[in-house]
Amino acid sequence: MIITTDAVVLRTMKYRDTSRIATLYTRVSGKISVIAKGARDRKSRLGASLQPMNHVTAVYYRKESRELQLLTQCDLVRTHRGLTEDLERMAVGLAAVELVDAVTPAEEENVRLFDLLVSTLAAAGSATKNAGNALYYFEMQLLENLGFRPDFQRCYSCSALIGDSLSGLHMSYNGILCASCAGKGLGFEALSAPAVRVLQRLQEMEGPEAVTRVVLSPQVKGEVAGVLRRFLLGHVEGLRTLKSEAVFSSLL
């Protein structure tokens, strides 16, 4: 069966003398692995398009009896060139594709996640400032997409509305804690009022572009990044610290 689909290149590796194996996140089939024969040949059109974070149109021959499908054509839709011209933007893009690769099973369609990935890469690549905020939006929406939506409006322990009482708040492994419950020793990490407001807003915003227009202090960035990453590590089985995280952490 020949399939044509939009896809994002998650990662690639060399195979034999001239070929590449690529992991793609496709719009119609989710994550797939393909072999691009001759992709490392200078005359091949496949090689230029098979770069991580690229948005492509892929044509591949699918056979159910094999895990590695044959890529026959791969054309660029968008390179997100801005992602490779700036360290912060690159860190966002690499973290996003690495997260999708880490949390998704093979061949499980998820159009919403595909669109989220594409829009995040586009927002980060075109951002003139605050590109890192796009990753916070991506991780928040990824948690919701995976069925682990955090509640930053109510105390996880007693269900009281946080409201305007934004002092003395702490995080637990499962959610935010009000000052009263945190005082009982249930929480392990203090949260500032600005960080809580940002976490709340991230769940309300529509699209990552809006987030890049928000200016955050280094302290708030660190708090928000820490909360989101701990939620992912705590709820997604098998997820480990990202290779790209070392680059991104150095920017905070």
Q: What is the pLDDT of residues 214-226, one digit of tens each?
A: 999 999 999 999 8
Q: Determine the Cα–Cα distance for residues 242 and 127; give it in Å rounded to an integer.
A: 23
**Which of 16, 18, 14, 22 lies closest to 53 in space, CA to CA?**
22
- Name the CATH architecture for the domain at 1-79: Beta Barrel (2.40)
- Give the predicted TM-score (pTM) of the model: 0.91
Contacts of 245 (CB under 8 A, 6+ apart): 95, 229
CA distances from 8 to 99, 168, 173, 190, 211 (A): 13, 42, 32, 37, 22
213 backbone dihedrals φ, ψ, rounded to 5°: -90, 0
pLDDT > 70: what percent of the chain?
96
pLDDT in tens, 142-174: 999 999 888 888 998 899 888 766 778 888 878
Crossing angle, helix 133-145 and helix 218-235, to 10 degrees? Answer: 20
The full set of domain ranges for the chain reads 1-79
What is the per-residue pLDDT for 54?
A: 95
What is the per-residue pLDDT for 182?
A: 85
Under 8 Å between Cβ of 75 and 56 = yes
pLDDT in tens, 38-69: 888 877 777 788 999 999 999 999 988 888 99
Residue type for 215, please?
Answer: V
Query: Which residue did the predictor score with more confidence, 187 or 91?
Result: 91
The SS3 call for residue 211 is helix
Query: Which residue did the predictor score with more confidence, 240 or 66?
Result: 66
Residue 252 predicted with pLDDT over 50: no
Residue 11 predicted with pLDDT over 90: yes
Residue 251 predicted with pLDDT over 70: no
The SS3 call for residue 175 is coil
